[in-house]
Amino acid sequence: MLYYGLLLIFILEYVRPVKFISFLYPLHLNSVVPVFVSLLSLNNSKSIKNIDLLKLSSTITIIVFLILIGVGILWVDVKHYVFWKFIQVFGWFLVYLAIIKNADEQKKIEGIFIVLILCHLVLLILTPDVIFNPEVRSYILQESFLGDGNDFALSLNIVIPFCIYLCFGSKSKPKKLLLLLLTILLILAVVGTSSRGGTLALAAVIFYQWLKGRKKLLGLAGIAILFIVMLLFAPALYLERMGTIRNYETEGSAQGRIMAWKSAIQMAGDNPLTGVGAGHFSVKYGIEYRPPGVGRTDIPWANAHSLYFLVLGELGIPGLLVYLWLIILNLLKNEKIIRSLTPENASDSRLMDRRLFVCLNSSMIGFAVGGAFLSATYYPHVFILAGVMEAGRHVYRRRQESDAIVPSLAIP
């Protein structure tokens, strides 16, 4: 039952049904359900023990990150900014815990994939202009972290590997075809957002999938076909925006980003151990760190537009190192498993394990690349991915132990 509550958390947060069903708004389901499910999950004795959960590297890293956010309240100018960032990340930490406690089987992990894919499909249905009118950049009908087209592209790049994994793992040809078409649809949706960062993240995801694939020539042929489909679908706006990547430093919006990034470095230079405080980048940028001669109307935003520069400016060098550690450590742990499960020495079930960790690493790489151009530090993505990665490794280790015990019992 708690597992379905976990799936409900994703629906409530990604689709935001309270936006369309007004009587649900006073119930605060987006806050109540995660807390309720997470706290009850801690009593789930059938899954990983709580003491072992607290020993996980991702758990320790997120706790340290929360401490770095929370201690800022001692010296910042606007304390409630820090307080709400702490609450926001703490909420995702609870979801992270609930994922590990409840996704204790590979099928349950796949269930999370399916729900997240369906959430993005629903958002596309609610905002069909992303596909049917890509000449105009559309805003997603969602009030939180997916509203902007760039944010939606980032999230799409995280779930596209889920589609690929489910497609390769399905034994039903109709399901394979359906998942293949859905994968192409989500890829075209990235194109429909005209997001440059989203396109770079998509390229990184596809390259990593190809790099870890067994049939390199067939993979290249598939990539070539996909590239042609994307070019046929791509509107003039998309091609124009992609062309500005080459002259990034002279393009208007990019100049604003670079100014913000330089300001983040200055913030960290002035406050290397603490930063300016969680939630304070915009405040400090407007008051102290706006480049000389640049007026408020010259730059269309007052944010870092990069998760790395945002965490650097707000939490200093320790915050950036901890955040990078959360990403890199999970990638390296999964990579170790992937290398141990080579196609030559792995059974069919082990190949599915390999595909799972390739899928998860693809998603994290998509987040890491796309997040370089978005203020996605406090978005749920990295915490959800860390939770699924830890859950996947726990399931894998438990199955390894089980396989080792069974042969030993058979020895007379």
Which has the minimum average pLDDT: 23-37, 121-135, 181-195, 317-331?
23-37
Note the pLDDT of residue 151. Answer: 92
Higher pLDDT, 20 or 273: 273
Which has the minimum average pLDDT: 37-41, 169-173, 252-256, 376-380?
252-256
Note the pLDDT of residue 345. Answer: 61
Note the pLDDT of residue 296. Answer: 55
In contact, 371 and 307? CB cutoff 8 Å: yes
- Three-class secondary structure assignment of 7-39: HHHHHHHHCCHHHCCHHHHHHCHHHHHHHHHHH
pLDDT in tens, 107-130: 999 999 999 999 999 999 988 888
| Residue labelled with tokens 């990593």 | 208
Which tokens in the block code for residue 103?
Answer: 């996704």
Cα(22)–Cα(216) distance, rounded to whole angstroms?
51
Instruction: Categorize the per-residue pLDDT at 260 as very low, low, confident or very high, splitting at 50, 70 and 90.
Output: confident
Instruction: Categorize the per-residue pLDDT at 412 as very low, low, confident or very high, splitting at 50, 70 and 90.
Output: very low
Express as a percent the part of the chain with pLDDT over 70. Answer: 90
Q: What is the mean pLDDT of residues 39-59?
A: 88
Note the pLDDT of residue 300. Answer: 43
Which tokens in the block code for residue 30?
Answer: 């987006």
Cα(48)–Cα(394) distance, rounded to whole angstroms?
8
Is the model's pLDDT at 16 over the cut of 80?
Answer: yes
pLDDT in tens, 293-323: 665 554 545 688 899 999 999 999 999 999 9
Q: Which of 296, 297, 278, 299 is nearest to 287 (CA)?
A: 296
Note the pLDDT of residue 410. Answer: 47
Note the pLDDT of residue 252. Answer: 54
Which has the minimum average pLDDT: 23-32, 86-95, 266-275?
23-32
Mean pLDDT value across the chain: 87
Q: Which residues does 138 contact at the CB level (< 8 Å), separation at least 6?
A: 127, 129, 130, 149, 192, 193
Note the pLDDT of residue 293. Answer: 62
Report the sign of the C-alpha dihedral through residues 221, 223, 225, 227, in that order.
negative
Scored b (16 or more CB within 10 A) or e, 316-329 reads bbbbbebbebbbee
Q: State whether residue 343 is helix, strand or coil.
A: coil
Instruction: Categorize the per-residue pLDDT at 254 as very low, low, confident or very high, splitting at 50, 70 and 90.
Output: low
Q: What is the mean pLDDT of residues 351-374?
A: 94
Report the sign of the C-alpha dihedral through residues 48, 54, 56, 62, in that order.
positive
In contact, 393 and 336? CB cutoff 8 Å: no
Cα(83)–Cα(313) distance, rounded to whole angstroms?
17
- Helical (H) or strand (E) element with 68: helix 57-70
Note the pLDDT of residue 99. Answer: 96
Note the pLDDT of residue 214. Answer: 83
Q: Which of 30, 253, 37, 34 is nearest to 143 (CA)?
A: 30
Instruction: Categorize the per-residue pLDDT at 237 as very low, low, confident or very high, splitting at 50, 70 and 90.
Output: confident
pTM of the model: 0.91
Q: What is the mean pLDDT of residues 67-77?
A: 93
